[in-house]
Amino acid sequence: MLDRRSFLKRAAAGAATIALSCRSAGGARAGAGAARRPNIVYVFADQWRAQATGYAGDPNARTPNLDRLAAESTGFATAVSTCPVCSPYRASLMTGRYPLAHGVFMNDVCLSTEAVSFAQALNAAGYDTGYIGKWHLDGHGRSASIPRERRQGFGFWKARECTHDYNRSFYYADTDEKLWWDGYDSIAQTREASRYIREHAGGKPFALFLSWGPPHDPYPTAPGEYRALFDPEKIALRANVPAEKAKESRAMLAGYYAHCAALDSCAGGIVETLRESRIEDDTILVFTSDHGDLLGSHGQRNKQQPWDESILVPFLIRYPAILGRAARILETPFATPDILPTVLGLAGVEIPKTAEGRDISRIVRGADPDSEGSALIL
């Protein structure tokens, strides 16, 4: 394992073919600097709870693209957002650390550069890295541009700290000039992500992070064609929504599912781009969310509370070259700090010494979960 200084030194030297050994038994790719590493496309929404998909059994959800993706992916039944708020999740995602270590306990706090980041680890292994969409890790104002030194190592950049004005949304690239997404920003961001994938297909390995703002409220702002799919009066409520909250909950959920349906179409576009570019087999594709949303369950709204609707998130990972295309569901505990080490483990990239999460890539590859030595003590 390398410390932060060593990682940055290697990245600066452009060591694209350095042989790196994985912290855990990550398979044949680990330590094989000459072998081409898989691409990584990490797609995540904001506030999409685990229950809100067709493949999870939600009768309201219209997610045909994600349902097809789930049918050929490994899914996590217990993927937990460790601290279910935007900035704390993103800090754990980028560092593989728990909030007590990275220090981001609430939104609008700047993540330090103390730890080796996801992008820095990938840069050191020879990847091109890119980020598109919502960042929410800079803490210097939601509309302020983010200088390169605070981008945690990402090279390609079309992002903004935070906005929920999805139909009039701007971003920054390499300068302080405001650039505008065309229409509903998640659709425009997905279009940009597809362009990036096509341009990088067949070259050096790349890792692209695509961060959507929806289905976070405001709920009635999805494109009209998707809003028209959901009648509040016909929304089926979860059993834990109190009767006095039913009308309010149905109104919120109609807009929420409309956003989800729009994002499902976007997810389908990413899958199709990978197929058309002929790199889907050698690409690790992740779909997930930063946290959930209570939406009236338990009589509550938003997140930040330890209910399933708040802390459980969808997590699908597809990597056909290694995992095949059969649907699998893993019950092993999986928390936000585990994402960085597990994805890097699958890719055969050395895991930073500063990361605290578990690398369960062996389990994802098919190893017996009991071999990890976890125990429940009552």
Answer whether 345's CB lies under 8 Å from 359's CB: yes
Torsion 302-66-225-198 (CA) sign = positive
Cα 50 from chain centroid (whole Å): 13
- Rounded distance, CA 30 to CA 231, Å? 50
Q: Which of 22, 83, 86, 260 is catalytic?
A: 86
pLDDT tier, 202 (very low <50, low <70, confident <90, very high otherwise): confident
The pLDDT of residue 5: 52
Tokens of 129: 């890295």
Query: Could you report the per-residue pLDDT of 340-376, keeping only the tens digit for each?
Result: 999 999 999 999 999 999 999 999 999 887 666 555 4
The pLDDT of residue 107: 84
- Rounded distance, CA 350 to CA 124, Å? 9
Query: Could you report the per-residue pLDDT of 77-90, keeping only the tens digit for each?
Result: 999 999 999 999 99
- Share above pLDDT 90 across residues of the chain, in percent, rounded to a whole number: 84
Conformation bin of residue 31: beta by default, left when phi > 0, alpha when psi is -120 to 50: left
Residue 136 annotated among the catalytic residues of the structure: yes
Q: Which helix (H) or strand (E) holds 273?
A: helix 246-276
The pLDDT of residue 371: 60
- Spelled out in words, what is the top-level CATH class assigned to the domain 39-84+102-334? alpha beta
Q: Which of 22, 102, 136, 260 is catalytic?
A: 136
The pLDDT of residue 42: 98
Burial track 339-371 (b if 16+ CB lie within 10 A, e otherwise): bbbbbbbbbbbbbbebbbbbbbbbbbbeeeeee
Cα 215 from chain centroid (whole Å): 14
The pLDDT of residue 21: 31
Span 92-103, average pLDDT: 96
pLDDT tier, 97 (very low <50, low <70, confident <90, very high otherwise): very high
Residue 298 annotated among the catalytic residues of the structure: no
Torsion 79-82-85-88 (CA) sign = negative
